[in-house]
Chains A and B, each alone.
Chain A
Amino acid sequence: MKYLHFTLLTICIVMASCTIEKTDYGAELGIETTEFIEFNEAITTNSGDYNISIAALNGTFYKGYNEIRLKITNSNTNELLENSEITFLPILTDANGNKSSSPHQYNLTYNATEGYYSGFAVFTSETSTTISWQLYINFTDGNKTHAVNETIIVEEQTNKNLNITAFTGNDNAQYFIALVAPQSPNIGQNNLIAGIYRYNKPTNVAGVFPDATQFSYSIVDNYTLLLDPRMPEPSMGNHSSPNNQDLTQQTNGLYQGVVNYTMTGNWTLNFILKNEQGQTIKGTEVSTAFTPGIVGAKGELFIDILF
């Protein structure tokens, strides 16, 4: 009798030890996203006595926002070129040979402590059989100007948290919104960072290619990006989250706000872009109604994310 129960209990303990596994929360958050924090060399090229190297996150140019760090080394002296005037222009060539560009920082900023020149490029599409990208870089050493151009590969961005959208505003200008952070969101509060850019229509006739005035973009200043996150999944009934904050411009030019994600999955960031005067440039308010079975609301201006 006694042994029977001991046996029984042993069996019970064995049974109790095999259970549904608890979710590994860290791994769960990384299923759809990878966070890159290291800058690696994405491309290097030589021009005369100079070696030009551009670093990007994960050593890759992706569709969407890319912060770039450029270094120029004099191969003779092996010294970094300091305080140069550097211009940076990405050019897209389509199947018909049409050339266009995308939002970028034309005059790179010199970072004296790190010895590199920083800027950004928002690639609007990835390299394909019909689309190629070239970088046109000019730099000065002393009084001499050097020009380099190099073909690059722009890879597909699989992380939806770095999505971009391009649209024509109510003022007929062409705008771009590119998500910059978080790369790998958490459930809870996230600092949502985005870049907002405008295409400056050329006012003069094109000069010799590449004429920077034909491919001019600028950071949109002092606008506000209103935020309303929703879950698109029909069973979530247009679920949203509380305590979100609209995006406003920071000193570094980027826009920052707060988005709360209540759970993992697909989310739609509904935006309304307003200019300094509070006039709507693009975007509509979305329904806040709880609508089980119906796809979550998407306004006129939105970006889908997934984590």
Chain B
Amino acid sequence: MLFLSTFVNAQVVEKKKDSLGGVLDEVVIITKKNKIKTDLKMAVSVDEFLASSANISFIKRGAYAWEPLLNNMSTERSMITIDGMHVFGACTDKMDPITSYVDSNNLSDIEIKSGQEGGLHGATVAGSIDLKRKSTPFDFAKKWSGGYQTGFELNNNQFFNLANASFSDDKLVVDASISNRKASNYFDGNNEEVKNSQFEKLNASLGVAYKTTDLSSVRVDAIFDRAKDVGFPALPMDLSLSRALITSIAYKQFFEKGIVKVWDTKLYFNAIEHYMDDTNRPENLVHMDMPGWSTTYGLLSKINLQKGNLSSEVQLNAYNNLSIAEMRMYPQDRSERTMFAFSWPWVTTTYAGLSINNLWDISDTSQLNFGGSLGVNYNFSKYVEFNRIFHPNASQEKIRFLPSVHAGYNFDVYNFNFSFGSGYGHRAPSVSEGYGYYIYNSFDRFDYIGNPDLKNEISYEVNASAGYKTKKGSIHAKVNYFYIDNYIIGRILSLGSPMNYQSVGVKGYTSLDYATLFNFSINAKYTLLQKLHWQGTLTYARGLDDTKMNLPFIRPLSYQSSLHFSHKKFGFLTSLNGDFEHINYSPLYGEDETPSFKNFNVSADYTFYIKDYKTVFQVGAENLLNEFYSTYADWGNIPRMGRNIFTSLKINF
């Protein structure tokens, strides 16, 4: 909804330019300034930025690569893309969500859509998170711009440097960025070191766009990301190295007349390698390597149409992914034969789907959006013998049809805004859910086995929102409810025995008859004084399985409240956030009761100019009271970071 309106606005801008100059200067229409920062911190990681959204929560296994949960659903149920491109992590333990392969300085925005509205890029249940890369528009005059950001965080000695530069003229645009972050172990609220929580990340990106005609352009993009020596304190293993190369070539054609406005086609390729091992864990009984690879080729082609007050997006998605993961255990006598198995036995996923989103401006105060998609999902397991150990009749290949539809109505009455929506959609099981083999989950300490013949998960969803706005403030409440048929979750198997020495048993992915999920959030803003703003958010969620037992990883009642004051070149912010006690936990799925916690944070910034370059210096502290806590979704109840004093400096030129 939000995005569609952005799109419409962009079209309007484009029309104006068209009528004024007769030439389209902006071939690349989505050009926003860098929004990747939170109220508290101007230099944030992608994870920290996502955490500031009300419908995102995180599973954390350390200080790095948090797994985002959208509407309290894990990444199998959401669709995470980079500019619409599908990228699949290469770690069976989900230690590399796609968000870990970008950095804040090569993104311009992150677009989050809830539920079936997010079905444009592919089948989903929870919704979609699209990471939008920076792309500078063509400009008549030659223009250079750039930014540099550096900072230090005291708690874990994190030192980071982020730089980006752009060049644009009327024919050529170049965007480049490079970033480096290096951190040592962090300390918890009891000032104790959390061992194996260090990380180091290097990210570089380059985008080159060339205007081929007045109405068309070609753009080539590449992101390279390398993380090494990343510790996962909640796991028995660490990441020694991960590398991602994410590339695309896109052709964009604008049309001055007719109902077709833009046709955007992109071919992409990405390769990810992810090497887990336990070289730094001498306490482990068995030495083990777990390398993983994921390679994806894809095509994305989108047409934007507009006629009168109806605008539509039609998108074709096609991709092919090969996921491979191996495990090799070394016997205590290293001269003995190693023990080898595939945890993903060369699983191919091929998907092709057509989706459509429409926005109908019924009047100035009411809009209807509606759409749907139909996809075909094909899986092939090369070494199906692995899957047949637990499921002797498992099929080697599987074709699934994944339909979805959604509709929403949004209207304003005086200062009130209301919306209602509904959706229906299927999703295919993920590679791990379908084909995973002895994937150790250190949260509930079970080895997980996939089932290739799981049924599609089918989601029925309703959502509503109500808002009220005055000059001084606003309040907005959102609610959604998911009824999910064939909800896929791990259940204890009576057969087989664990393979990983830390595990206590074997779980197989099975379908529950159904599960239900309820999410609620309320957000309020108020201007107390001209320069003193208050903002608060409250979220609540509940998830139940078919026997009315709690689902795991459902966030308890949580809140966030912040006060921002600015005066001349100074800005101050204080915020308080926390979770209430996690009462509705799920012992069946390995959860225990988590006590409540609160975090008090402060920051101050000062803006000044070095020559003509705007410079901002910021200093602040997170968890100022050094509270010792872990959240409901902290893997193995590892403690979170204690007091963290951070500083950063940003120069724009």
Neighbouring B residues of A32 by C-beta, 8 Å = 337
Neighbouring A residues of B385 by C-beta, 8 Å = 186-189
Neighbouring B residues of A1 by C-beta, 8 Å = 165, 167, 176
Inter-chain contact A264/B338, CB cutoff 8 Å: yes
B326 nearest CB neighbor, chain A only: A23
Per-position contact with B for A23-37: 1 when CB-CB < 8 Å, else 0? 101001001100000
Per-position contact with A for B478-522: 1 when CB-CB < 8 Å, else 0? 000000000000000101111101101100000000000000000
Query: Which of A31, A237, A263 is packed against the most chain B CB atoms within 10 Å?
Result: A263
Neighbouring B residues of A238 by C-beta, 8 Å = 497
What separation, in Å, do the CA atoms of A32 and B386 have in the docked complex? 20
Inter-chain contact B340/A264, CB cutoff 8 Å: yes
Interface: A292 (CB within 8 A): yes
What separation, in Å, do the CA atoms of A231 and B499 have in the docked complex? 10
Inter-chain contact B165/A262, CB cutoff 8 Å: no
B495 nearest CB neighbor, chain A only: A242
Inter-chain contact A262/B273, CB cutoff 8 Å: no
Interface residues of B in 315-338 (CB under 8 A from A): 324, 326-329, 331-332, 336-338
Interface: A236 (CB within 8 A): yes
Neighbouring B residues of A233 by C-beta, 8 Å = 329, 331-332, 336, 339
Inter-chain contact B339/A263, CB cutoff 8 Å: yes
**16 other contacts beyond A22-B293, A242-B389, with CB at 8 A cut-off?**
A12-B245, A20-B275, A22-B326, A23-B328, A23-B340, A187-B340, A187-B341, A187-B386, A231-B339, A233-B329, A241-B496, A243-B495, A260-B389, A262-B389, A265-B337, A265-B339
Inter-chain contact B337/A242, CB cutoff 8 Å: no
How many A-B contacts if CB must be within 8 Å? 145
What separation, in Å, do the CA atoms of A239 and B286 have in the docked complex? 14
Interface: A124 (CB within 8 A): no
| Binding-face segment, A2-10, A57-65, A73-81, A169-177 | A2-10
Inter-chain contact A8/B178, CB cutoff 8 Å: yes
Per-position contact with B for A283-294: 1 when CB-CB < 8 Å, else 0? 000001010110
Contact among B324, B337, B383 for A22, CB-based, below 8 A: B324
Q: How many residues in A have their beta carbons less than 8 Å from beta carbons of B?
A: 45
Per-position contact with A for B243-275: 1 when CB-CB < 8 Å, else 0? 101000000000000000000000000010101
Inter-chain contact A242/B273, CB cutoff 8 Å: no
Inter-chain contact B178/A31, CB cutoff 8 Å: no
Q: Given A22-B324, A240-B496, A16–B338 Cβ distance below 8 Å?
A: no
Interface: A15 (CB within 8 A): yes
Neighbouring B residues of A266 by C-beta, 8 Å = 331, 336-337
Per-position contact with A for B275-293: 1 when CB-CB < 8 Å, else 0? 1000000000110000101
Q: Given A9-B224, A32-B337, A243-B389, A235–B329 Cβ distance below 8 Å?
A: yes
What separation, in Å, do the CA atoms of A186 and B389 have in the docked complex? 11
What separation, in Å, do the CA atoms of A7 and B194 have in the docked complex? 38
Inter-chain contact A263/B222, CB cutoff 8 Å: no
10 pairs across A/B with beta carbons < 8 Å? A5-B174, A8-B204, A15-B226, A15-B243, A25-B342, A265-B338, A265-B339, A292-B501, A293-B285, A306-B337
What separation, in Å, do the CA atoms of A22 and B340 have in the docked complex? 12
Inter-chain contact A237/B498, CB cutoff 8 Å: yes
Inter-chain contact A242/B390, CB cutoff 8 Å: yes
Interface: A19 (CB within 8 A): yes
Inter-chain contact A235/B245, CB cutoff 8 Å: no
A292 nearest CB neighbor, chain B only: B501
Neighbouring A residues of B324 by C-beta, 8 Å = 22
Inter-chain contact B224/A189, CB cutoff 8 Å: no
Interface: A202 (CB within 8 A): no
B501 nearest CB neighbor, chain A only: A292
What separation, in Å, do the CA atoms of A5 and B389 have in the docked complex? 49
Neighbouring A residues of B285 by C-beta, 8 Å = 234-235, 292-293
Interface: B525 (CB within 8 A): no
Contact among B245, B328, B331, B389 for A189, CB-based, below 8 A: B389
The 3 closest A-B pairs by CB, nearest first: A188-B385, A235-B286, A242-B495
Neighbouring B residues of A12 by C-beta, 8 Å = 204, 224, 226, 245
Neighbouring A residues of B499 by C-beta, 8 Å = 236, 239, 262-263
What separation, in Å, do the CA atoms of A237 and B286 have in the docked complex? 11
What separation, in Å, do the CA atoms of A234 and B243 have in the docked complex? 34
What separation, in Å, do the CA atoms of A266 and B337 have in the docked complex? 7
Q: Given A13-B245, A188-B386, A236–B339 Cβ distance below 8 Å?
A: yes
